[in-house]
Chain A
Amino acid sequence: MAGNSTYNPTNPVEKWLDDRLPLVRFSKEHLMDFPTPKNLNYWWTFGAILVMCLGIQIVTGIVLAMHYTPEATMAFNSVEHIRRDVNFGRIIQGTHAVGASMFFAAVYIHIFRGLYYGSYKEPREVLWILGVIMFVLMMATAFMGYVLPWGQMSFWAATVITNIFAAIPIVGEPILQLLRGGFAVDNATLNRFFSLHYLLPFVLAAVVALHIWALHVPGNNNPVGVEVKSERDTLAFHPYYTMKDMFAMVVFLIPFAWFVFFAPDILGHPDNYIMADPQVTPPHIVPEWYFLPFYAILRAIDFNILFIDSKLGGVIFFAGSILVLFFVPWLDRSKVRSGSFRPLFKPFYWVFVLNFIMLTYLGAQAAEGIYVVLSKIGTAYYFAYFLIILPVLSRIETPAPLPTSISESVLSKSAS
């Protein structure tokens, strides 16, 4: 949305720069004057919180990399060295480790916000797709980061997860060896994971820039899902939303700090305090909590489907559970964006949320008994939601009447 600028360079230096590289003008347009729907609720602050999370991970990560040794016999002790001997090391390392969990907590809220308010719908499909790409990048980065301390869970998670690729016909085995840098997870794996773990956050930062660019073309969606019609519907991003976002960031930092300072290990697994040992397999290999729903889907496919064996089947469903997100804009054809005006959509959405939580829980349980059955039901609902429920609902549902404009909905709310 160009042309919202009220920027008037006053002094000659600013004017000189503005004629050559309108950096200040650009910033003013996009970070200050950008017209933003005035009814955004606090779920819209998570985008800013995510940017903050990425910043925290990059800054703490760079400091950690100064003291970390990416070598199989030394990595574990070098992380302990950071915790014990580096100034503020325990806090920097704790912030980075806890930060990964907080980042995912925020991204899940961000995604579920989008799913409820239909933020993925026309004209925001590209914005959504960039989001899914970032989600995949985040998972890759977090997975490789988790391997770096070279504890037992690091090592065995790396083994199990890279092994997934071996199920792919023909190319699986070469991919596996490429990922591991050999036949087994060892020093070569650690080296390449460190290199990529340092690289990907910067790729992520670049995609964030595209994401925000794609946001600033159509502008924000909002809780009622009615497009901005006039200036009366909007507020300038600064100071209104800068203030609101910053307030939300500070609030978000409270539980964040709680974990960093009072329970930095509670989100991790005790086994990762044991140095990696290829000879000893831990009794339960569990990924970090934020992978659990997808891990549950992977394990739910323990039966062959026609000529596809269970292992490949699991991988297909695992990959599919993320790939399906790319197609959501075209699966949900309802013209109404916001779930608040979709009486049929709402219950299915909330079951989807509960189902996702159930899958998270199941991903941490042993694959036996009732857990297996529940995982299958959960997986079935996960896919049915996107592939059947959303397309069908958009045909049969009669949405509630929409407010004619954002400002009308705001007024009626403050009146009631």
Chain B
Amino acid sequence: MKFTQKLAAAAVLVLSMGMGGSAALAAEEGGHAEQQNWTFAGLFGTYDEHQLQRGFQIFREVCSNCHSANLLAFRNLSEEGGPGFSEEQVKALAETYTIEDAEAEGGERSGVAADRWPAPFASDQDARDANGGALPPDFSVLAKARGIHQPFPFWVFNYFTAYQEGGADYIYNLLVNYHEAPEGVEVPPGQYYNSFLGGTLAMGPPLDDGFVTYEAGEGEAVPETLEQYSKDISAFMYWMADPHLAERKATGFRVLIFLIVFAALMYLVKRRLWANAH
């Protein structure tokens, strides 16, 4: 092999091994993750509005009783690339919440679209007290703060498929894997066994079949099962963590096509120029 080819091969190896080595480490303790077919995965992936709306419903009715989402503003819900609520809907929704505001009369007022999502507890300490000492993590970027473990060589492919939805897969697998603890595993009071984590955590199973009645969307019949709920909330959480995904990929396409065409033209000019160089 020529030096050139060898070094190129070596460079690819270094990049993939080194980077994968660190990226794949998160959640190593966990069990096997069932990867889902997310609509927002891959090159052409974008969010499914209806799924985000369903996810939002679960978030609002269930998760937000314990989890905050400090970086989510009501207005985000009507922004491009998101769940696609109308501005009126968002305004009406925001008004149903009371926001603490030291400058308002009585220290409180009803919400407006620019407000952030109100936290369920006044402080971290209150949140712990209400949850047996465990702090429910903030949802804003939680879907980016988790990943799944993939054995070598599978994570190498991620660089070529642009798979980075490990956080959504993590949350999905967490939610559907609450089971009886196997024989011999001690589950302390206030803890729940989860086979995906391969251990226990302080959050009980927050969802179950039929737990949430989906607001009727455009004639579609969406199953009200644990799996469906888990998918929908995971997708919603991923959107919350990466709200500009669709726009970013769309720009990326234009940039990549431009670069490839430009590189091809440059190559032709370069070859022409060098033809008389020797």
Contact = CB atoms under 8 A, between A and B. Distances in A.
A361 interface: yes
Contact of A270 (B18, B145, B259): B145
Nearest to A284: B25
Interface in B216-243: 241, 243
B21 A289 contact: yes
Nearest to B152: A361
A357 B260 contact: no
B249 A361 contact: no
A244 B274 CA distance: 9
A253 B164 CA distance: 21
Interface string B232-271: 0000000001011000110111011001101100110110
Interface in A247-272: 247, 250-251, 253-254, 257-258, 260-271
A154 to B, nearest CB: 13
B274 A240 contact: yes
Contact of B21 (A38, A246, A271, A364): A364
Given A265-B144, A353-B10, A361-B17, A286 B256 contact: no
B255 A261 contact: yes
A267 to B, nearest CB: 5
Interface in A308-359: 339-340, 350, 353-354, 356-357
Contacts of B248: 90-91, 94, 261, 264
Contacts of B130: none
Nearest to B243: A84
B256 A43 contact: no
> On chain A, which size bracket covers the interface?
35 or more
Contacts of B3: 43, 116, 339-340
B187 interface: no
B162 A269 contact: no
Interface string B125-164: 0000000000001001110111100000000001100111
B7 interface: yes
A235 B277 contact: yes
Contacts of B26: 269-271
A258 B28 contact: no
A274 B7 contact: no
A250 B263 contact: yes
Contacts of A288: 22
Nearest to A338: B3
B114 to A, nearest CB: 11
A138 to B, nearest CB: 16
Contact of A273 (B10, B241, B243, B278): B241
A410 B255 CA distance: 37
B14 to A, nearest CB: 5
A94 B251 CA distance: 13
B17 A357 contact: yes
A38 B7 CA distance: 21
Contacts of A357: 10, 13-14, 17-18
Given A239-B273, A340-B3, A263 B164 contact: yes
Interface of A: 38, 41-43, 77, 80, 83-84, 90-91, 94, 101, 105, 108-109, 112-113, 116, 235, 239-240, 243-244, 246-247, 250-251, 253-254, 257-258, 260-271, 273-274, 283-284, 286-290, 292, 339-340, 350, 353-354, 356-357, 360-361, 363-365, 410-411, 414
7 contacts: A254-B263, A258-B256, A261-B249, A262-B162, A264-B248, A356-B14, A357-B10
Given A108-B11, A244-B270, A356-B14, 11 more contacts: A83-B244, A247-B263, A263-B163, A265-B144, A266-B159, A267-B19, A269-B25, A284-B28, A287-B22, A364-B21, A410-B278
